A and B are shown apart, each in its own frame.
Chain A
Amino acid sequence: MSSVAHLRTRAQEEASRFPALLARAEHLAGTVLLGDHGRRRAGLGDDFWQYRPLQAGDSFRQIDWRRSARGDEQFVREREWQIAQSVQMWVDPGASMRFSSHKDIPTKSDRARLTALATAVLLVRGGERVGLTGWALPPRRGNAQTLRLAEYFSTDGEDDYAEPEARGMLPDAKALFVSDFLGDLAPVEAALTKAADRGVRGVLFQVLDPSEEAFPFHGRTIFESVNKSVAYETLKANDLRDRYLERLAERKDRLDTLCRLTGWQYFTHHTDHSAQSALLWVYRALDGSQG
């Protein structure tokens, strides 16, 4: 009896989490989409873009005779550029993301997933293909893809600090890595180098809790990671503050340098700020680098 009830509860929990995340992501995406669509340039595509006079080098096959017949000049019919981009995402499933320092602040993983999924919703609406890095979910179009993404995002990893998945990246695609980047930086470095080799540009989106930025602790304290795999005991926590902040700044600096070397973009977001600002930045970063 209890096992049935337990199963049902868990099933309901799982089911409820999935659309909630999607709905919130859609909602968030809706705030950004306004007035910001279209490639606004000539290119390959189905939709009519503009007529332009025939220029040297255009073949006669390109002339739109119906338009040209109205006057003496010959016109070429151009279509709107509708090339689809592939964006591959990696959201840190590590346990370190499941942390929030205050009950009013969402966990880092919640914010990370929400931002990533909202970005995906936006991109899918813009006609791009979105997927995950690695082999699990290659980039595809369509709303069904956001559902699949949401499903993958909803799984939690076991380890405290997860390594970024850099396999299966398509050449010249875009990438979005969302994590707190508190684990070992070597895999990140490797992933970014590999991506740069393949011409993949992207965004490193670091999500941090405000307490990780401020270190507001005092007195004798044992600090533990979320999985309790790492522990550190101090006798006077406030004593450590400056040195901790120094290390954090150093780490950020290293990430920034790494990004600049590989042509990526780097941004730090705090969970006590609004999700919308995060989404806006990520979307701009992805969109802006497309030109």
Chain B
Amino acid sequence: MTLFGLGFSAPWLLMGLIALPILWIILRAIPPAPVRRIFPAVVLLLGLKNDEQVTDRTPWWLLLLRMLAVAAVIIGLSGPILNPRDEGDAAGTGPLLVVMDASWASAADWRLRMNTLDGLLAEAGRDDRRVALIRLTDPQEPQFLSAEALRSRLTGIEPEPWEPGPDALDRAIDLLPDENFDTYWMSDGLNRDGRAPLLEAAQDRGQVTVFEAPRNLLALEPMVLADGNLTATLRRLRPGPEAEVTLEGHGRDPAGNPAVLMRTPVTFEAQALTTQIELSLPSELRARIERFEIGGADSAGAVTLPDDSLRRREVALIAAREDREGLQLLDPLHYLRKALAPTADILETDLKTVIPANPDVIALVDVAQLTGQEGADVLDWVNAGGTLLRFAGPRLAASDISRDTEDPLMPVRLRAGGRTVGGAMSWGEPKSLAPFTEGSPFMGLTIPDDVAVNSQVMAQPDPTLADRVIAQLADGTPLVTRKQVGQGQVILFHVTANAEWSSLPLSGLFVQMLERLAVSSATAQPDIEDMEGTIWKPVRVLDAFGVPQDAGVLPGVEGPALVSAPLGPDLRPGLYQGEDRSIARNVVTAETELIPMTWPDTVPVEGLNRSQEQPLAGWLLAAALLLLATDVIATLSLSGRLRGAVAAGLALMLLSATQQGARAQDEPQADPAADARALAATSEVVLAHVLTGDARLDETAQAGLRGLSDTLFFRTSVEPAEPIGVDLETDELAFYPMLYWPITPDQPTPSSEAYAKLNTYLRSGGLILFDTRDADVAGFGSGTPEGRKLQELAAPLDIPPLEPVPQDHVLTRTFYLLNDFPGRWQGRDVWVEAAPPDAELIDGMPFRDLNDNVTPVVIGGNDWAAAWAMDEAGNPLVPLGRGFTGERQREIAYRFGVNLVMHVLTGNYKSDQVHVPALLDRLGQ
């Protein structure tokens, strides 16, 4: 029934409105209930009269409120419908077939389509028409059902990321039912062959109505790489006015979270069908981008997946420490960099950042130990197809890695120490390379005569060793070994990557070997012939909306089909992984034709925005509820029960109820406390100590560093601020030049993230002063609990070989000239990074030219903090020794501290000072 443009599904319920006046009278007679209060002074009130006598009846506005609520309930229950479809509108009464193109091109307006279809089905349901549905991208035998049954299934109907091919259209014609029916065709607006026969077949059986979205369809062609820049071509279906769209690059940020990594506006000129844009992206960013898409297009046609054809090989170079700055030719990475630069993109950051970028190769140059988390990440990455390229070096030789059991990230087990041949102290000659054998990837490379190896790390003889050697020396010892790990591989060069251990990196052979190992080879477009007989495994596939999905258990695709076959259920658009490269199949390519469909005049074409029937019952009932809630508040306030706090509470409740949906997305907030701390730590030099959890010890460390800071302030130009205690788990370490780490037997072992942070800190030039505080009575061993704890704590750290401080170490003369390094105790040795084995005493020089850089650790047990400890007034806190001797010892302790900080801050500056006379001499002074 229709009343005032509203339809009612249960109009007789409106009779209830007649009862409203009666309700009015009843409600009016019942005033709000009074509050009963005990009040002894009531006698004073006796005889007082109220001025306003009306409120013993319900006020008219409250009555009106309640009437409205009741009326809203009555009308709401009678089922009002806005925009009811006229009965005369229905085209017929016979069965109805819904034909959906359901291709990627309809995905953009899918919701609109489904809403329209829902409306049409509701209408058909009221007319008792049976309805069937057929999707042309995946034609199935249509079953005529009741419209409501089909409506309940609508949410499960999805478009497919391909177009209906001629086969599918032919099959659809075969599947058309024999009886007569009308057809609703939800078209995607694209012209394609094979539509006409289907249209004819449908028109034979009844009337056809076409529904088409008016929106202009956008498509994105695959990126083309030229001159290092990416070119994106955007297309649209119909010419239109000037329009701006956004091109987005999606991928993972360094933390591994999905993010929009690139966003750029692209403009279609008026009437233009295509537009192009050149993207100049950093290669690292380019490698991270997993898909390009037109923002908001929501269609697989507006998404393109980059594959290997866009990529240069990405090689991450990671050295143990930035060693010997300034000495370029001795840089462990120098030759690798030179060899790879022409053909590969080189990433040089730390491991944690590199892994989410998913490089093809990670080269670890003389890196021995990876912390637990890093190691696990790298292993995962290798398992997923990465190539881990390792080079030996002094650190690897000195470490315990892969000694007793084979490390998963090492191809072979190593013998301790390595060997040196052909040096000054050995009889042998430098070894040359043996010819490459059959099966080695280097087979066929010519070996220059001048390649010689002086030092190498030695592999333990193993049953598997022979299989893993891919290059060996003339005496049969392995030079390069390789093993497969998961889908990836681990390759170890048993020599250094610079010319220190061999002349291999100087030769052209080195470059050729890297190429053969697919470290540096570039990729080109695949040919069908190349693809013959290969099987490609889908990694990610796109759905029709352009959202990448995990390929799951989809079967592999044969190579030729991958290149040439049209997309369909067997070949979904997506990224396919082959043996050593990946290929993307995109929905829209340069060859795809986008032509708008022109329907014959006999077919009525409707838009999708039909006015929808809008049931109003829900709104009315909600309004009734709201009115009743208002009534509660009004009644409360009338009877005097609504006072300050209660009113505020109710208002809050209402507010929160209305704002429930509009809650803003939580943005990651910068922590102001952390910021303030970072500022405090970076605006001045700040010494830091590791918080051990032992309050007393932490206090002493704080006081000790304060004492040292004050001493530095008074005596040197280093003017540190108040020292800071550092929590390894939560705080950033990079701000502090040095960390004082007192060892207690019972302090917690840091987490693997904390270790990763510590290793980064050590690699980037930080210094940790470990203090076992046990006077080193056990001779730096496992004799004391602190010593054992230190070993346990330092095991996962990337610490170079150590030695006791030699007499000519730079620590002995950075500020004061020192012979020993006492703290509270006059302990024995203090250990620092070992001098390189080739350091020799030159005649006329007072000391050797030792490490060029700051030693990453200083380990001792002299309890320096206690010796340095000062209270606020500058008085020593801990007694030291006896009388003047004790004071002298404290003074020396301070001097050690000054020297240490100077060493941290100036590095080898004092070492270089010895060259000043020679430099002046050379300048002719």
Binding site for B on A (CB under 8 A): 96-97, 99, 108, 160-161, 180, 182-183, 209, 211-212, 217-226, 230-240, 243-244, 247-248, 251
Q: List the 5 shortest-distance A-B pairs measured between CB atoms, nearest first.
A: A219-B640, A218-B640, A96-B40, A220-B34, A223-B42
A237: which B residues are within 8 A, CB to CB? 640
Which candidate, B47-55, B874-882, B915-923, is the interface stretch facing chain A?
B47-55
Contact at B643–A218, with CB atoms within 8 Å? yes
Contact at A224–B32, with CB atoms within 8 Å? no
Other contacts beyond A160-B40, A221-B37: 18, CB < 8 A = A96-B40, A180-B40, A218-B640, A220-B638, A222-B35, A223-B39, A225-B43, A230-B43, A230-B46, A232-B48, A233-B34, A234-B50, A239-B50, A239-B52, A240-B45, A240-B50, A244-B48, A247-B44
B637: which A residues are within 8 A, CB to CB? 219
Q: A160: nearest residue on chain B (CB-CB)? A: B40
Instruction: Tell me the complex Cα distance, A101–B643, Å.
Output: 16
Q: Is B31 an interface residue (CB 8 A)?
A: yes
Contact at B44–A244, with CB atoms within 8 Å? yes
A226: which B residues are within 8 A, CB to CB? 38, 40
B50: which A residues are within 8 A, CB to CB? 234-236, 239-240
Contact with A222, one of B36, B40, B52, B641 (Cβ below 8 angstroms):
B36
Contact at A219–B638, with CB atoms within 8 Å? yes
Contact at B640–A222, with CB atoms within 8 Å? no
Q: B39: nearest residue on chain A (CB-CB)? A: A223
A212: which B residues are within 8 A, CB to CB? 39-41
Q: Is B639 an interface residue (CB 8 A)?
A: yes
Instruction: Tell me the complex Cα distance, A248–B32, Å.
Output: 29
Instruction: Tell me the complex Cα distance, A81–B552, Å.
Output: 111
Contact at B56–A221, with CB atoms within 8 Å? no
Instruction: Tell me the complex Cα distance, A54–B913, Å.
Output: 111
Instruction: Tell me the complex Cα distance, A99–B804, Å.
Output: 87
Contact with A239, one of B35, B46, B51, B638 (Cβ below 8 angstroms):
B51
Instruction: Tell me the complex Cα distance, A211–B40, Å.
Output: 10
Binding site for A on B (CB under 8 A): 31-46, 48, 50-53, 55-56, 637-641, 643
Instruction: Tell me the complex Cα distance, A62–B44, Å.
Output: 62
Instruction: Tell me the complex Cα distance, A219–B639, Å.
Output: 5
Contact at B45–A217, with CB atoms within 8 Å? no
Q: A234: nearest residue on chain B (CB-CB)? A: B50
Contact with A225, one of B32, B42, B53 (Cβ below 8 angstroms):
B42
B292 to nearest A CB, angstroms?
Answer: 67
A221: which B residues are within 8 A, CB to CB? 34-37, 640
Asked if A220 meets B35 with Cβ closer than 8 Å, knowing A236-B55, A237-B640, the reply is yes
B38: which A residues are within 8 A, CB to CB? 99, 223-226
In the complex, the number of residue pairs spanning A and B with C-beta atoms less than 8 Å apart equals: 106
Instruction: Tell me the complex Cα distance, A249–B643, Å.
Output: 27
Asked if A220 meets B55 with Cβ closer than 8 Å, knowing A230-B42, A231-B42, the reply is yes
A211: which B residues are within 8 A, CB to CB? 39
B35: which A residues are within 8 A, CB to CB? 219-222
Contact at A223–B45, with CB atoms within 8 Å? yes
Q: A98: nearest residue on chain B (CB-CB)? A: B40
A247: which B residues are within 8 A, CB to CB? 44
Instruction: Tell me the complex Cα distance, A160–B41, Å.
Output: 11
Q: B42: nearest residue on chain A (CB-CB)? A: A223
B39: which A residues are within 8 A, CB to CB? 99, 211-212, 217, 223-225
Contact residues of A: prevailing secondary structure: mixed
Contact with A223, one of B31, B37, B51, B641 (Cβ below 8 angstroms):
B37
A235: which B residues are within 8 A, CB to CB? 50, 52-53, 55-56
B634 to nearest A CB, angstroms?
Answer: 12
A217: which B residues are within 8 A, CB to CB? 37, 39, 640
A272 to nearest B CB, angstroms?
Answer: 16
B552 to nearest A CB, angstroms?
Answer: 66
Instruction: Tell me the complex Cα distance, A211–B48, Å.
Output: 18
22 A-B pairs with CB atoms under 8 Å apart are: A99-B39, A99-B40, A183-B43, A209-B40, A211-B39, A212-B41, A218-B643, A220-B638, A220-B640, A221-B36, A222-B36, A223-B38, A224-B39, A225-B39, A225-B40, A230-B46, A231-B42, A232-B45, A244-B41, A244-B44, A247-B44, A248-B44
Contact at B51–A182, with CB atoms within 8 Å? no
B56: which A residues are within 8 A, CB to CB? 220, 235
Q: A220: nearest residue on chain B (CB-CB)? A: B34
Instruction: Tell me the complex Cα distance, A135–B38, Å.
Output: 33
Q: A246: nearest residue on chain B (CB-CB)? A: B44
B43: which A residues are within 8 A, CB to CB? 161, 182-183, 225, 230
A225: which B residues are within 8 A, CB to CB? 38-40, 42-43
B640: which A residues are within 8 A, CB to CB? 217-221, 237-238
A250 to nearest B CB, angstroms?
Answer: 9
Most buried by B among A226, A235, A236: A235
Q: A99: nearest residue on chain B (CB-CB)? A: B40
A218: which B residues are within 8 A, CB to CB? 640, 643
B41: which A residues are within 8 A, CB to CB? 180, 182, 212, 244, 248
A231 to nearest B CB, angstroms?
Answer: 7
Most buried by B among A108, A218, A223, A231: A223
Contact with A244, one of B37, B45, B641, B643 (Cβ below 8 angstroms):
B45
A243: which B residues are within 8 A, CB to CB? 48
Q: B52: nearest residue on chain A (CB-CB)? A: A236
Contact at B55–A224, with CB atoms within 8 Å? no
Instruction: Tell me the complex Cα distance, A212–B33, Å.
Output: 23
Instruction: Tell me the complex Cα distance, A238–B43, Å.
Output: 17
Most buried by A among B34, B35, B41, B637: B41
Q: A97: nearest residue on chain B (CB-CB)? A: B40
Contact with B37, one of A183, A222, A236 (Cβ below 8 angstroms):
A222
B53: which A residues are within 8 A, CB to CB? 235
Q: B33: nearest residue on chain A (CB-CB)? A: A220
Instruction: Tell me the complex Cα distance, A96–B811, Å.
Output: 91
Instruction: Tell me the complex Cα distance, A108–B53, Å.
Output: 34
Q: B50: nearest residue on chain A (CB-CB)? A: A235
Q: B636: nearest residue on chain A (CB-CB)? A: A219
Instruction: Tell me the complex Cα distance, A226–B31, Å.
Output: 26
B5 to nearest A CB, angstroms?
Answer: 44
B52: which A residues are within 8 A, CB to CB? 235-236, 239
Instruction: Tell me the complex Cα distance, A212–B45, Å.
Output: 11
Instruction: Tell me the complex Cα distance, A239–B41, Å.
Output: 16
Most buried by B among A160, A182, A232: A232
Instruction: Tell me the complex Cα distance, A34–B498, Å.
Output: 96
B20 to nearest A CB, angstroms?
Answer: 26
Instruction: Tell me the complex Cα distance, A232–B50, Å.
Output: 12
B32: which A residues are within 8 A, CB to CB? 220
Instruction: Tell me the complex Cα distance, A5–B489, Å.
Output: 88
Most buried by A among B43, B46, B56, B643: B43
Instruction: Tell me the complex Cα distance, A83–B636, Å.
Output: 64
Q: A245: nearest residue on chain B (CB-CB)? A: B44
Instruction: Tell me the complex Cα distance, A183–B40, Å.
Output: 9
Contact at A220–B36, with CB atoms within 8 Å? no
Contact at A222–B46, with CB atoms within 8 Å? no
Instruction: Tell me the complex Cα distance, A223–B637, Å.
Output: 18
Q: B35: nearest residue on chain A (CB-CB)? A: A221
Q: A248: nearest residue on chain B (CB-CB)? A: B44
A222 to nearest B CB, angstroms?
Answer: 5
Asked if A220 meets B40 with Cβ closer than 8 Å, knowing A239-B51, A240-B50, the reply is no
A222: which B residues are within 8 A, CB to CB? 34-37
Instruction: Tell me the complex Cα distance, A183–B42, Å.
Output: 10
A109 to nearest B CB, angstroms?
Answer: 11
B628 to nearest A CB, angstroms?
Answer: 20
Contact at A224–B638, with CB atoms within 8 Å? no
Instruction: Tell me the complex Cα distance, A79–B357, Å.
Output: 108
Instruction: Tell me the complex Cα distance, A161–B52, Å.
Output: 31
Q: B53: nearest residue on chain A (CB-CB)? A: A235
B761 to nearest A CB, angstroms?
Answer: 59
Instruction: Tell me the complex Cα distance, A72–B745, Å.
Output: 95
B253 to nearest A CB, angstroms?
Answer: 58
Contact at A182–B37, with CB atoms within 8 Å? no
Instruction: Tell me the complex Cα distance, A217–B44, Å.
Output: 15
